[in-house]
Amino acid sequence: MVTLQTTQLRTGGLPVKEKRSAKQRAGTLGLILPGSIGLFVGFVLPLIVMIRMSFNQHGTGGQLVETLTFENYGRALSDPFYWQVIGNTLWLGLLCGGLAVILAYPIALFLTRTTSKWKGVLIALAIAPLLTSAVARTYGWIAILGDQGIINGFLMDTGLLSGPIRLNNDMPGVIIALVEILMPYAILAMISGFGRLNNSLEEAAGTLGASRFKVFMRVTLPLTLPGVFTGFLLVFVLSISSFVTPRLMGGGRVFILATEVYNEATQTLNWPLASALSVILLILFGLLVAGYQQLTKRFED
Amino acid sequence: MRKALSGTVITVIYLFLLAPIIAVFLISFNSSSALKIDLGSPSLQWYQEMLSNSAFIEGAKVSFITAAVVSVVVLVLGVPVALAIARREFPGKNALSAFFLSPLLVPSVVIGLGLLLVFQPLALTGTYLGIIIAHFGITVPYVIRTTLMSLKTNDVSCEEAARVHGAGPFTTFFRITLPIISPGLIAGAVMAFIISFDEAVISLFVAGSGRTTLPVEMFRYLQYRSDPAIAALSVILILISVLLVVVIERVVGLRKVMNS
Amino acid sequence: MSTNRRLTRNKRLLTIGASIVAMGTLASCASSGGGDADGQTTITVLGYTAIFEDNFTQAVIEGFEAQHPEYNVEYVPSQNSAEMLGKLRSEASNPTVDVAILDQSVANTGIQEGVFAQLDEAAVPNLANVVDMGLNAEGYGPAMTFDNLVLLVNPEEAPEEISSIQDLWDAPDNSVAIPAAPDIQGIALTALTANNLGADYQEDIQPAIDELALLQPKVTSWDPQPDVYQTVTSGSAQYAVGWNARGQVFSDQSDGRLQVVQPDDGIAFQVNTINMVEGTENAEGAQAFIDYTLSKESQESFSSAMFYAPTVKNAELPEEVQARVADPQDPNIVEIDWIWMADQRDAWTDLWRRTVIGG
């Protein structure tokens, strides 16, 4: 705000204002244009082409027929299977978001409060997984959760199990892996959102006789809630659009929008349906983000 | 007692968080090709195997080249936009900044499919140009954000002073603005590099049968093989990231990067 | 055909858009294949990647180039048939590929879209040797390889030997890997199951689907990652269904951990056809290459390398190879009309998802 005022004051005092502002407008355009064209080609154009494709038809024998039809949306929305896919997708997002937040919260709280000289290292360790490719970490989880993996191996060696339990190749494995893979985002969001938290406030409440539980519920939690919300939304959004982990660990049992889109696009070559599903995913996303913004706005008021 | 309890909880969560990385690290020294930790006689055979895999080497080359080009292109095209948003007044400014952040709000599968539909008729799938265009959209929001941050936290008075003393806009930018915001730029470029280097989903769609990036090669490898060569490769990649972080820390200071 | 024209128009629009960005950023990134150095004509062949590419290059392409020094073959590998069709579809107006080897049902979609051209019998004399089952009625690309659905067993981990598709229903829980539809291995399994139930798969598929649904607890993965051959070799699954050719090749590399069993209750063929691309500027070279792949010599050498059954009558395989390859005359063959199937694949996939996997 301060910067804006200075600029206005200065230009306002110049006699050659008109000329300069025309020149400046051209300059502004020159600054904005190249980047905008880049984003148009790499982002907007693909979305437009995809939306157009969603009104085409997948003809008999897999032919692509250029036309204008709502058939694909009709098929996707009138079919209970796709409702189940949408449901699965949302459920996966909610569960991952919830679990990631629950696990990330103590870590974020600890990292905000700690005065240890290892603080830097501990923060780095919590965020380090972000620097490791999701494909590599998914591989790690397959090794841990697989039928011959570390967990099943341990349980069978100790005689707690006679045969392996199915952790990989189904929804539970996907959820475990996704929670871990996306948790660092929640930790990051929370650490930066916990700025308002400050030890003296909690201490004050404590000396005034509030129990630890009460201090947490009345002071800590409300102050950290915005960070928690951001963390949840981030993980929710990222898990809804996750693809690599559900694909490698789902065992063909996990049907979510992202894997459906990929299958239709690359296996059955039904581009119109893949596009329609993408548009549905996009709308779902938009609604959720808008709803979330409303929520945070109300919360902040 | 309480302290011990909370200490245990924190340790357990940390273990969970690092579990796959630890597993990958141990498996990379496996003595057999089994997909489990098997350190009967630790060996480096998978590192050898990985280095002799031409798909990995080619993928790494493609990833390095695209990530490097993307981080330069995204700076050259993104920083002016951030500059305009922070320093100029024009109609539709809010819309423009929303526009440049919007790729973050679109699932990667959706962007990937759209790009596939655009690229296939143009024969851009599996080309450097295709991958670079694809990665531009998802990295530009980060560069604009980091640049905006450093522009906003720095006063315009220096730039004003330079202008008053007769410096042209270019001189002002290169002599004054650029040095001030350079930590933000480096942070943005590094993020763009890492995101482009790690991106798997969009690249998978636009890879086709031509050039592919390393994450796509790894994904495809996992569809046919599950031996620890992938683990060995991951360990190398982790070491490179750590090295990168250390270098940034030495050059600009990690805190500045993290803060933005 | 208006599809094509409109696609072309879209293409032009897109080209303009893309080139704007291209100009500012990168001019020299695209790399194209080298010129024809010694007056040779290049034939571009699109086919499967990985072991198919390796074996095909050694067993077929090298022989062709030795026999026809005027040609040189460039092989473009692709992940699967659908991806190949996607590529051919998108460059229909300006093809860079002359010959494509892909699955018959996907090829049929391509034929309907006008992506492939009819062959000239005079230019492909070896067509006369192709078995009836491998010929296209309208003169499009013929079968180049036959493969068949087999049972894969890990003899070290599997509790019992199996000999038929039906035995899968007696497997222990969590022990079988099956690539579900839309994968054609799942589709072929459905047809074999229908046959075992005495039903005609073209009439009513529901009984077979209900039967497959009973497999649910036995199955550890409906989408094995990595593929079925590695999944069985590593012991993550004890049983699986897969293709004979790859099964045999990987079996040889498995130290006895992967065994291929020809099911005694039904053999389902998968067909790869070799097709000439419509609009190729090199029809002569393309057909010369197709003709060579149908020659006795090429068929024998590729079959010996990869255990595909030959598609020509005059091929004679060494005994040890013959024993590991299905015979197109086998009485157990359950004929699958893959062209009919191309239309049904979506519907069958739906049934699989709802009843077999979801059920």
CA distance C102 to chain A (A): 13
DSSP strand pairing (C176-177 vs C116-117): unpaired
Q: Is the domain of A45 the same as that of A106?
A: no
* pLDDT greater at residue C28 or residue B8: B8
Contact B102, A44 (CB under 8 A): no
Asked if residue C238 is part of any domain, the answer here is: yes
Q: Is the domain of C205 the same as that of C106?
A: no
CA distance B113 to chain A (A): 7
Cis status of the peptide bond prior to C226, with omega within 30 of 0? yes
Q: Please write the tens of the pLDDT for every residue from C7-48.
A: 444 544 444 444 443 333 333 333 333 344 557 899 999 999
Q: Is the domain of C136 the same as that of C152?
A: no
Q: Please write the tens of the pLDDT for every residue from A31-56.
A: 889 999 999 999 999 999 999 999 99
Q: Which residues of B touch A245 (CB under 8 A)?
A: none
Q: Which residues of B touch A275 (CB under 8 A)?
A: 113, 117
Q: Torsion angle, CA of B116/B117/B122/B125, rounded to 10 degrees? A: 10
Asked if C345 reaches chain A (Cβ–Cβ under 8 Å), the answer is: yes
Estimate to the nearest angstrom the gap between the alpha carbon of C53 and the chain centroid.
Answer: 12
CA distance B253 to chain C (A): 31
CA distance A214 to chain B (A): 16
Contact C18, B115 (CB under 8 A): no
pLDDT value at position C250? 92
Asked if C76 reaches chain B (Cβ–Cβ under 8 Å), the answer is: yes
CA distance C103 to chain A (A): 12
Asked if residue C21 is part of any domain, the answer here is: no
Q: Is the domain of A294 the same as that of A246?
A: yes
Q: Which residues of B touch A106 (CB under 8 A)?
A: 6, 9-10, 13
Going from the C-alpha of A273 to that of each of A59, A72, A127, B115, the distances in angstroms are 11, 5, 38, 16
Among B33, B118, B129, beta carbon nearest to C26: B129
Among C108, C182, C224, beta carbon nearest to A61: C108
Q: Is the domain of A40 the same as that of A154?
A: no
Q: Is residue A203's pLDDT more than 70? A: yes
Instruction: State whether B128 and C26 contact (CB < 8 Å).
Output: yes
Q: Which residues of B touch C250 (CB under 8 A)?
A: none
pLDDT value at position A10? 42
Q: Is the domain of C152 the same as that of C240?
A: yes
Asked if residue C96 is part of any domain, the answer here is: yes
Asked if B246 reaches chain A (Cβ–Cβ under 8 Å), the answer is: no
| Residue pairs between chains A and C whose CB atoms are closer than 8 Å | 96
Cis status of the peptide bond prior to C182, with omega within 30 of 0? yes
Q: Please write the tens of the pLDDT for every residue from B209-220.
A: 667 899 998 988
pLDDT value at position C283? 92
Nearest of C209, C61, B108 to residue A242 by alpha carbon = B108
Q: Is the domain of C153 the same as that of C132?
A: no
Q: Is residue A298's pLDDT more than 80? A: no
* pLDDT greater at residue A155 or residue B259: A155
Instruction: State whether C14 and B225 contact (CB < 8 Å).
Output: no
Asked if B124 reaches chain C (Cβ–Cβ under 8 Å), the answer is: yes
DSSP strand pairing (C41-48 vs C71-78): parallel
Among B19, B81, B231, beta carbon nearest to A144: B19
Q: Which residues of B touch A241 (CB under 8 A)?
A: 107-110, 201
Estimate to the nearest angstrom the gap between the alpha carbon of A116 and the chain centroid.
Answer: 31
pLDDT averaged over every residue in chain C: 85
Q: Range of C194's domain?
A: 148-269+329-357
Asked if residue A218 is part of any domain, the answer here is: yes
Asked if residue C9 is part of any domain, the answer here is: no
What percent of chain C lies above the pLDDT cut of 70? 89
Cα C222-A171-A262 angle, rounded to 5 deg: 60
For A256, phi then psi, to 5°, come to: -125, 170
Q: Please write the tens of the pLDDT for every residue from A235-293.
A: 988 898 889 999 999 988 899 999 989 888 877 778 899 999 999 989 988 888 888 77
Query: Which among A52, A73, A93 is the end of a domain?
Result: A52
Interface probe, candidates A33, A56, A64, A253, chain C, greatest C C-beta count within 10 A: A253
Helix A17-39 × helix B54-87 angle, to 10°: 160
Asked if C202 reaches chain B (Cβ–Cβ under 8 Å), the answer is: no
Neighbouring chains to C with at least 3 Cβ pairs closer than 8 Å? A, B
Q: Is the domain of A239 the same as that of A110?
A: yes
Contact A64, A58 (CB under 8 A): yes
pLDDT value at position A112? 85
Residue that is written with structure tokens 């309480």 in the block: B2
Instruction: State whether A252 and C180 contact (CB < 8 Å).
Output: yes
Instruction: State whether A143 and B23 contact (CB < 8 Å).
Output: yes
- DSSP assignment of B94-112: HHHHHHHHGGGGS-HHHHH
Which CATH number fits the domain that encloses residue C101?
Answer: 3.40.190.10
The residue length of chain A stands at 301
Number of domains in chain A: 2
The amino acid sitting at A214 is K
The residue length of chain C stands at 359
Interface probe, candidates A40, A132, A259, chain B, greatest B C-beta count within 10 A: A132
CA distance C287 to chain A (A): 26
B163-192 residues touching A, CB cutoff 8 A: 169
Q: A273: nearest CA in chain C?
A: C346
Residue C139 corresponds to which tokens in the numbers above? 């003169």
Q: A288: nearest CA in chain B?
A: B105
Residue B217 corresponds to which tokens in the numbers above? 């090669």
Number of domains in chain C: 2
Asked if residue C24 is part of any domain, the answer here is: no
Q: Range of A279's domain?
A: 81-300
Question: What is the number of alpha carbons within 13 Å of residue A52 lying toward its C-beta?
Answer: 13
CA distance C2 to chain B (A): 16
Q: Is the domain of C191 the same as that of C310?
A: no
Rounded distance, CA A98 to CA C104, Å? 47
C136-195 residues touching A, CB cutoff 8 A: 173-174, 179-180, 182-183
Rounded distance, CA C15 to CA C4, Å? 16
Instruction: State whether C21 and B128 contact (CB < 8 Å).
Output: no
Q: Is the domain of C198 the same as that of C152?
A: yes
pLDDT value at position B254? 53
Q: Which residues of A touch C221 (CB under 8 A)?
A: 169, 251-252
Rounded distance, CA A182 to CA C179, Å? 29
Q: For chain C, how far is it from start to end, CA to CA, in angstroms?
A: 42
In eight-state DSSP terms, residue C149 is E
Q: Is the domain of C210 the same as that of C340?
A: yes
Neighbouring chains to A with at least 3 Cβ pairs closer than 8 Å? B, C
Asked if residue A66 is part of any domain, the answer here is: no
Asked if residue C251 is part of any domain, the answer here is: yes
Helix or strand holding residue C116 (H, E): strand C116-117
Q: B116: nearest CA in chain C?
A: C86
Q: Is the domain of A140 the same as that of A228?
A: yes
Q: Which residues of B touch C225 (CB under 8 A)?
A: 222-223, 226
Start-end of CATH 1.10.3720.10 domains in chain B = 54-259
The amino acid sitting at B8 is T
Asked if residue C348 is part of any domain, the answer here is: yes
Which CATH number fits the domain that encloses residue A228?
Answer: 1.10.3720.10
Rounded distance, CA C104 to CA C5, Å? 26
Q: Please write the tens of the pLDDT for every residue from C181-236.
A: 888 899 999 999 999 998 888 888 999 999 999 999 999 999 888 889 988 988 88
Q: Which residues of A touch C220 (CB under 8 A)?
A: 147, 166, 169, 251
pLDDT averaged over every residue in chain B: 84
Rounded distance, CA A145 to CA A151, Å? 6
Q: Please write the tens of the pLDDT for every residue from B121-148.
A: 887 888 899 999 999 999 999 889 888 8
Q: Please write the tens of the pLDDT for every residue from B83-110.
A: 898 888 888 888 998 899 888 888 889 9
What percent of chain B lies above the pLDDT cut of 70? 93
Q: Is the domain of A200 the same as that of A247?
A: yes
pLDDT value at position C63? 94
pLDDT value at position C105? 86
Q: Is the domain of C223 the same as that of C121?
A: no
In eight-state DSSP terms, residue B154 is S
Asked if B128 reaches chain A (Cβ–Cβ under 8 Å), the answer is: no
* CB contact set of A273 (below 8 Å; sequence gap of 6+): A58, A72, A75, A76, A264
Q: Is the domain of C158 the same as that of C117?
A: no
Q: Which residues of B touch C87 (CB under 8 A)?
A: 120, 125, 208-209
Mean per-residue pLDDT, A121-147: 85
**What architecture is the B54-259 domain classified under in CATH?**
Orthogonal Bundle (1.10)
CA distance C346 to chain B (A): 20
Q: Is residue A188's pLDDT more than 90? A: no
Among A126, A144, A286, beta carbon nearest to B23: A144
Least confident of A183-187, B161-165, C44-48: B161-165
ipTM over 0.90: no
